[in-house]
Chain A
Amino acid sequence: MNKIIALTKKELYSYFSSPIAYIILIATVSLFNVFFYLIVEQNREVALRDIFQLMEFMFVFLIPLLTMRLFSEEKANGTMEFLLTAPLTHTMIVMGKYLSMLTFYSILIGLTLTYYMIIEYFGAPDLPSILSGYAGIWLEGAFFIAIGLLVSSWTSNQIIAAMVSYVILFSLYFSTSFAPYFTGPMADFFTQLSTRTHLENFAVGIITPSDLVYYLSGIVLCLVLTRFSTNNKLWQ
């Protein structure tokens, strides 16, 4: 566990030692603030449902930018050889990188907790639905990060990693839009595949086992695939 923490700290240090982390945090939260004001002003309700859906859409754009460098940079700089010849397991390397990005993402989400305080000042928001909304958006980000991490392990080119991540995240996000063109199981498949379908429930305070399974199995699957992808036997 100590080695995973060391890897996580190294990744976070790498982010916060450059202006990129601060720019991403400030720019994203500022954008959320503007939309928060506009949505509350328009809806005149003490709920964050629409904010969560907006966050989800924004994270489809943002997360590939965060994850594209995770493995690609190590491969391009030759430091992957350093990690893979140190007494580290592949799982430790994958978890160290994943947890670093999850920590960064949690800080980003944490900065929006002020929205609850603001709407509470003006009314009586439904706390359970807001908590479940935050749980949903956190799980969704964790899923997106796991996808970005997997894609980053496939290539040493950061641009390619970002582009492939965009294709996958957009496909997942918009897959529900294809459902009307199909009937029966195929329509269900496209609806259930979409991240929007699953976040909708969380955003209105409903946590169902199927939604939890969707996110958790997606995260575990991507992390396991990343672990195999980093196995240098596959590079030979």
Chain B
Amino acid sequence: MLIARHITKNFGSFRAVDDICFEINSGDIVGVLGKNGAGKTTLMRILTSFLAASSGEVIIDGDDVSKQSLKVRKKVGYLPEKPPLYDDMTVQQYLKFAAEIKDVQSNRRRLQVAKVLEECHLDHAKHKKIATLSKGYRQRVGIAQAIIHEPKLLILDEPTSGLDPMQIKEVLSLIKNQRNQRTVLLSSHTLIEIEQIAQRVLMIKSGRLVLDSSLDEVLKSKDPAQSQPLTLDQVFISHHQEHLTQPLRAGDE
């Protein structure tokens, strides 16, 4: 579904993404982990064709993102870190507009809007102005616009950022429900969320991919000091310590 080959992105002399390679199969839910500023958002912006990579290539469902950008965008749903919403529109108007610009056929638009309203539990809020919605609802509207055109690949940049625990639960459940319909790539620095929904983890540090593994494999690995399975938290911390080659010591958090 997604092949990223040697992606590098420079902003002047600063290298935000450094020679990243990975592949994602259809139907996978993949979590991208990394500290703030690690390069997650830049990577996602390259995958969605919002930014052009300085070098490397991205192939989504057989199409090159840089050469067949419009074709690729029809196959990708994207929720940026800040949901891109128009406050003066109602939820329904906004989704109808999103359907129009995302090539949903006119005879299917009404049905498709109704479908995502139901799927994202927004039915009762469809006539509300977006400006009046809570953060959790805004996030759900953001996800609704990302899936309105039935994309094959859904890219979510920190979809639970700034939400309260109940809202996080709702949004994660919404993402889990996408599992059987499309491939999902989501970024987060909240490890427990990735543990709950992802099958695979990509970890980025200073623009470099430092871990690409299935979640099961990561969690099976043992802490040599304690012979206990590692948590994703511990794996994350170990990869962000200066001496990556040192085994994790007991009590490290």
CA A166 – CA B78 in complex, angstroms?
37
B197 located at the interface, meaning its Cβ lies under 8 Å from any Cβ of chain A in the complex? no
Query: When the two chains form their complex, are residues B51 and A232 in contact, meaning their CB atoms are under 8 A apart?
Result: yes
List CB contacts (< 8 Å) of B112-156 with chain A. Answer: 145
CA A116 – CA B88 in complex, angstroms?
37
* A: contact size bracket: 20 to 34
Contacts of A86 in B (CB 8 A): 73, 98, 101-102
List CB contacts (< 8 Å) of A1-50 with chain B. Answer: 2-3, 6-7, 10, 13-14, 17-18
Mask, A73-95, CB within 8 Å of B = 1, is 00001110111111111000000
A210 located at the interface, meaning its Cβ lies under 8 Å from any Cβ of chain B in the complex? no
Q: Which one of B79-87, B181-189, B235-243 is at the A interface?
A: B79-87
B175 located at the interface, meaning its Cβ lies under 8 Å from any Cβ of chain A in the complex? no
Q: List 27 A-B contacts (CB under 8 A).
A: A2-B100, A3-B101, A6-B101, A7-B101, A10-B89, A13-B89, A13-B93, A14-B89, A17-B88, A77-B85, A78-B82, A78-B83, A79-B85, A81-B50, A81-B80, A81-B84, A82-B80, A82-B98, A84-B50, A85-B48, A85-B50, A85-B73, A87-B73, A87-B103, A88-B101, A89-B70, A232-B52
B92 located at the interface, meaning its Cβ lies under 8 Å from any Cβ of chain A in the complex? no
Mask, A45-84, CB within 8 Å of B = 1, is 0000000000000000000000000000000011101111
Query: When the two chains form their complex, are residues A87 and B101 in contact, meaning their CB atoms are under 8 A apart?
Result: yes
Contacts of A232 in B (CB 8 A): 50-52
A208 located at the interface, meaning its Cβ lies under 8 Å from any Cβ of chain B in the complex? no
Query: When the two chains form their complex, are residues A14 and B88 in contact, meaning their CB atoms are under 8 A apart?
Result: yes
Q: A82-B98, A86-B73 are in contact. List 10 more A-B contacts (CB 8 A).
A: A13-B89, A77-B84, A78-B82, A78-B83, A78-B84, A81-B45, A82-B80, A87-B70, A87-B71, A233-B52
Contacts of B83 in A (CB 8 A): 78
CA A79 – CA B82 in complex, angstroms?
9
Contacts between the two chains (Cβ within 8 Å), count: 68
Query: When the two chains form their complex, are residues A6 and B102 in contact, meaning their CB atoms are under 8 A apart?
Result: no
CB A176 to nearest CB in B, in angstroms, measures: 40
Contacts of A13 in B (CB 8 A): 88-89, 93
CA A233 – CA B80 in complex, angstroms?
18
* B: contact size bracket: 20 to 34
Contacts of A233 in B (CB 8 A): 52
Query: When the two chains form their complex, are residues A82 and B100 in contact, meaning their CB atoms are under 8 A apart?
Result: no
- Could you say which of B48, B52, B101 contacts A236, with CB atoms under 8 Å apart? B52
CA A18 – CA B102 in complex, angstroms?
26
CA A233 – CA B70 in complex, angstroms?
15
Mask, A87-128, CB within 8 Å of B = 1, is 111000000000000000000000000000000000000000
Most buried by B among A78, A79, A86: A86
Query: When the two chains form their complex, are residues A18 and B88 in contact, meaning their CB atoms are under 8 A apart?
Result: yes
CA A41 – CA B102 in complex, angstroms?
55
Chain B residues at the A interface, C-beta cutoff of 8 Å: 11, 45, 48-52, 70-71, 73-74, 76, 78, 80, 82-89, 93, 97-98, 100-103, 106, 145
CA A87 – CA B97 in complex, angstroms?
13
Mask, A165-190, CB within 8 Å of B = 1, is 00000000000000000000000000
Contacts of B11 in A (CB 8 A): 236
Contacts of B102 in A (CB 8 A): 86-87
Contacts of B73 in A (CB 8 A): 85-87
Most buried by B among A10, A14, A82, A232: A82
CB B17 to nearest CB in A, in angstroms, measures: 12
CB B134 to nearest CB in A, in angstroms, measures: 18
CA A3 – CA B98 in complex, angstroms?
10
CA A233 – CA B69 in complex, angstroms?
13
A-B complex: 9 closest residue pairs judged by Cβ atoms: A82-B84, A6-B100, A87-B73, A78-B82, A79-B84, A85-B48, A85-B78, A87-B74, A86-B101
CA A87 – CA B89 in complex, angstroms?
21
CB A228 to nearest CB in B, in angstroms, measures: 15
CA A78 – CA B157 in complex, angstroms?
13
CA A214 – CA B87 in complex, angstroms?
39
CA A81 – CA B76 in complex, angstroms?
13
CB B7 to nearest CB in A, in angstroms, measures: 14
Contacts of A88 in B (CB 8 A): 101
